[in-house]
Amino acid sequence: MVETKTNYEWLGIDLFDQNVGTGKEITIPVTLSNIQSQKRGFRINIKARFEQVDKLVEWFIKFNFQKTKDYTVSPIDPVDITENLDIEAKATRKFEIVIGTPKGGYINDRASFAVSISSEDGIHSFNKSFTVRLVPVIMALKTTVGNEFPVSRDLEKRSQKDKAERLERDPHATNEVLSIISPYEVKGYIFVEAMHPDRVNVIAKGIKGFKGSVVGDIKVEEIEHYLTPKPAVSGLELGALVELIDGPFKGEHAKIMQIDSSKEEVTVQLVESMVPIPVTVRAEAIRMLEEK
């Protein structure tokens, strides 16, 4: 990311390249001062250029003056935007330029914005460009406790089906779910990397154990300590009491009888079964209830 901080006597504005998810707003505060002793006019101009898969996908530009002005731009309708401001002598105006990323779009679609601000008398001028690139975001989905893995599994299956259906009408369609993280230590939540979070909610609707999504994106720094995989059998002990959270015996309590670290499998004995039955399951399919 290349950042350009501009603080002239007559202008304050920060422009820098950004990687942003879809359906987001980038707010750029602007401080514009007339340092002369008479009223002057200023011109703000923005030109947008695009590199994106779908030429119909629209971006948005908004000026928050005293009255908000909105513009829609796209590769087929780039629009050269110009706004004019009159500022009294020795006065300052503060406003915002807001860039809205599209709800659609594909990974690495990008738009470059050339911003020009100048006084009509030609004394002051400013010209800078910055680029906004669309990237996936990480979102948190809520699940019932104990259903983190089943929800992850069912979401992956549904997203594959959704991709296959969309490929029939869009040859550029990709999987809406790029990756799923279900840390053993986190109960009631899973983390999903996605390009379009709103689509993930649609795909997940109706999955048993899915309880909705958390508003806002998750920074990778918040979950990076989960990204180093630990053996699924880590922390398990012989004789420990566990609950089966997946498979035909889901919900049953059992005792660990054998641990196979190489296969990451556990052999358990169902506690409430009248006849002791050893069952071998994946380590991810059990949840510790209490220590031995």
Tens-level pLDDT at each residue, the chain (292 residues): 444 456 689 999 999 999 999 999 999 999 999 999 999 999 999 999 999 999 999 999 999 987 888 999 999 988 899 999 999 999 999 999 999 999 989 999 999 999 999 999 999 999 999 999 999 999 999 999 999 999 999 999 999 999 999 999 989 889 999 999 998 789 999 999 999 999 999 999 999 999 999 999 999 888 888 777 667 777 788 989 999 888 888 888 999 999 998 888 999 999 888 788 889 999 888 888 865 4
Q: How much is the pLDDT for 291? A: 56
Q: ∠ CA 43-49-52 to the nearest 5 degrees?
A: 150
Q: How much is the pLDDT for 6? A: 62
Considering only the top CATH level, what class is 241-290? mainly beta
Q: How much is the pLDDT for 78? A: 82
**Which CATH architecture does the domain made up of 3-134 adopt?**
Sandwich (2.60)
Q: How much is the pLDDT for 2? A: 42
Residue 160: φ, ψ to 5°: -65, -40
**Sequence ranges of the domains in the chain:** 3-134, 137-220, 241-290
Q: How much is the pLDDT for 5? A: 54
Q: Judge: domain 137-220, CATH 3.90.1170.40.
A: no
Same topology, domains 3-134 and 137-220? Answer is no
